[in-house]
Structure 1
Amino acid sequence: MTNIIQWNCRGLKINLLELTLLVQSFLPIAFCLQETHLKESDNVSLKGYNMYSTFSKVDERAAGGSSIFVKDNVIHSTVQLTNGSASSCNSFIIRQNNYIMFDNIFHPNSIIDKAKLKNLTDQLPSPFILMGDFNAHNPLWGSKTHNAKGKIIEDFVSQEGLCIFNDGSNTYLHPGNGSYSSIDITICDPSLLLDYSWRVHDDLCGSDHFPIVLEHLFTSAQQRVPRWKLDKADWSLFENLCQAELQSKMFETVHDPILTFNTVLTSIADRPRQILDIPANHGLITLVIKP
């Protein structure tokens, strides 16, 4: 479970079942949702997840809003921000390896204030990821046209030395004319760009925005557990070296005999074959990485 899902769900209550299906498909550790259309009095939950929400309304009607769901067994904490850059913005720190700061944004059809964006990122611990529906068009992330917000975000990303995960895929289907565009953006600190894969889900899941899946890419050493390849060991040579180097008298004066024993034993098993002057296909115990 290393996935983060970013999605403008266009109504959390009506698409709550779709959210549970996304859990089954991707096992995400967190969701960053925009346009949840929730009131503070709404009783909404997702089994196995903690929920954090912001609320907004137009003429007493719930509109906009954003929510973050974090798996209940994942260490995390919320972050309080001042003078946010969007009508709905919430943030949390998730402990994955060290930590990653995620900021969830929904920005309606109004001009983005670059100063507020700068103020936002100045408050975020590094490294951070900004994800959300910015309603911004720019060929830099796959749109066919420019708009004012797209230019502002392009300038901001360039000036702050940030990176964009988007690969040009469409993220939004206009319900009126059936046209596609890319207005959902995932921005990150440069140190995180190669740590994640970014892809658009192939199902709208009841919204007019496609869910976006951000998957953490572990190194092979983190993904797999090293194990001894015992069936390929030269046990006769290993036994002889143990008899020669593991003498009882060597443990009489050491502070930690068990540690000393383990260290010597492992060093024998790891002994480079070229030092022992034996054929390359012949050795002691090989340490291999297995799935």
Structure 2
Amino acid sequence: MPARGATARTDSHQPGLPRGNNFTAPKRHRATLSVDGVIRILTYNVRSIRAHIVEIKKMSVEWLSREVDILVFTESWLKSGDETPRLPGYVEAGRKDRSENWGSKEGRGGGVLIYVRDRMGYSIDQIDYNRGTIHEGIDFLSINIRRGGKRRIQLVGVYVPPNLSDEVWEEQILDWNIRSNEKGALVIAGDINSHGSWSSMSTVAGDRIEEWCVTKGIEILNDPVIPTRIATTTNSMGDRIIQLSSPDVIMVKTADAINSMWESFPEESCGSDHITIQINLLWSDKTNLGHVKYRKKWKLKKADWDLFRERLRVYCVDSMKDGGRYQNAQELYDLLESNIKSALIEAVPRTTRAREYIWWTDEVEGAVKTRREALKKFRESGLEEDGDIYEQARGGE
């Protein structure tokens, strides 16, 4: 019998979890940690935890200082026989390695690894899905989190490899039968390598995931203008360019979205080109996370683009009749932006119910306003000192 918090490797099959010895999980972990009314869950695509373990250990001290309760690492790149790295203040709650029967590099890549704060209560749970059709390249791991008499939270860590086709994703998502209608909260965190309204781009798989979320009553909390991956690549001309995307997501039940706050921490790079993101979720409905902003979502699939082009043309022609009064490129940019928004309002419908952005607090709004004003001034002047002020504003968000 392993000690409390130790890892026990098992070959016996648990319903809903992959067969074989690439899954590890400790026994139940008794809760002795005094906690507040909020649980903090962080997810990060680490792209090999062993390669970046020194940076991860240093960063775990920072995570402890802001009381992060759970760490969900994707692309752990651990294989059967590898020892799970130890992190100060955290214990392993569960681990799912990439199957060595899948992929061209003998199981390299993939994997999900979950840590919890030491002395925090949890138990291993199963994921209920159709084992006959789920692709073995998709890594799932689920645990139950409990704190005394407070409600249970089912946490699901997931990693989906990028080379799965949209057709495979469409088929698999239909069988991903997370028990979202049960009592208690549900949090899904990880890298799904798909894009939709939460990202700067859209894919067929992402559209299907959004349909699935609506059916299951689940909300993706990501901010669509904040990327979770910043990568550099080279275009066909040989120029180095920056690619921004959001494959990493955190999802909760729609009913829990009002009690959740989503955050990103781009400064917490630990060697990967992904960004750590975090959710602060209330255990109790009595606590209030603060002021909530509401934004309506554009229904782009129902847009009348012919009307949009016509209205934009009319607005631009009317604006240029008095074009002589615009002094610089910034004023022309603001005018074009205003014309585009006006044309969008006329040609693209929006949701009737405002989508709740819990993370959009007054503090966040103030930081964004400061950044925008700094960018506007830098565009107008082109001075190096104004550029430095803009960079400082970006770093302060």
Same fold, judged at TM 0.5 (above): yes
CA contact (8 A) 1:129 1:189 kept: yes
CA distance in 2, matches of 1:117, 1:33: 21
1:89 aligns to what? 140
Q: How many residues align?
A: 221
2:73 paired with 1:33:
yes
What is the correspondence of 1:96-135 to structure 2 with a 5 Å cutoff?
Answer: 96=147, 97-109=150-162, 110=164, 111=166, 112-114=168-170, 116-123=172-179, 125-126=182-183, 127-135=185-193
User: What residue number does 1:164 align with?
Assistant: 220
Partner residue of 2:97 out of 33, 52, 55: 55
- The alpha-carbon deviation at position 17 of structure 1 amounts to 2.5
Show CA shifts across 1:94-134 (max 9, x none).
11431111100100121354454354334465521111111
TM-score by length of 2: 0.51
Give 2:261's aligned residue.
Answer: 197
Deviations 1:145-196 (A, max 9, x none): 2112111111111222211111221101123242111111111112221222
Post-superposition offset of 1:66: 0.9
- Summarize the alignment of residues 2-13 of structure 1 with structure 2, pairs less than 5 Å apart: 2-13=39-50
Query: Which residue in the other structure is 2:87 paired with?
Result: 46
Q: Distance in 2 between matches of 1:92 and 1:219?
A: 20
CA distance in 1, matches of 2:144, 2:285: 25
Q: Percent identity?
A: 23
Q: Displacement of 1:217 after TM fit?
A: 4.5
Query: 1:3, 1:26 within 8 Å by CA — same for their partners in 2?
Result: no
Equivalence map 1:230-249=2 (5 Å): none
The amino acid that maps onto 2:124 is T
Q: Secondary structure at the match of 1:158?
A: helix
TM-score by length of 1: 0.68
2:272 is matched with which residue? Answer: 207
Call closer, same or farther: CA 1:114–1:48 in 2, change over 3 Å: same
Unpaired stretches in structure 1, ≥5 consecutive residues: 224-291
* AA in 1 matched with 2:89: G
Q: CA deviation at 1:21?
A: 2.9
Indicate the residue corresponding to 2:365 in structure 1.
Answer: none
The 3 A distance-change label for structure 1 pair 95 and 220 is closer
Is the 1:128–1:189 Cα contact (8 Å) retained in structure 2? yes
Q: Give the stretch that moved more between structures: 212-221 or 189-198.
A: 212-221
Cα distance in 2 between the residues matched to 1:220 and 1:53: 31
**1:220–1:119 distance in 2 versus 1, CA, 3 Å:** closer
Rg larger in structure:
1
Number of the residue aligned with 1:22: 59
- Structure 2: which amino acid aligns with 1:91? S
CA contact (8 A) 2:61 2:88 kept: no
Residue ranges of structure 2 left out of the alignment (5+ in a row)? 1-34, 234-240, 289-397
CA contact (8 A) 1:55 1:62 kept: no
Q: Which has the higher strand share?
A: 1
Which position in structure 2 is the counterpart of 1:141?
Answer: 198
CA contact (8 A) 1:197 1:217 kept: no
Partner of 1:258: none
Report if aligned partners of 1:135, 1:149 keep a CA contact under 8 Å in 2: no
Note the C-alpha offset of 1:19.
2.4
The 1:212/1:94 distance shift into structure 2, 3 A limit, reads same
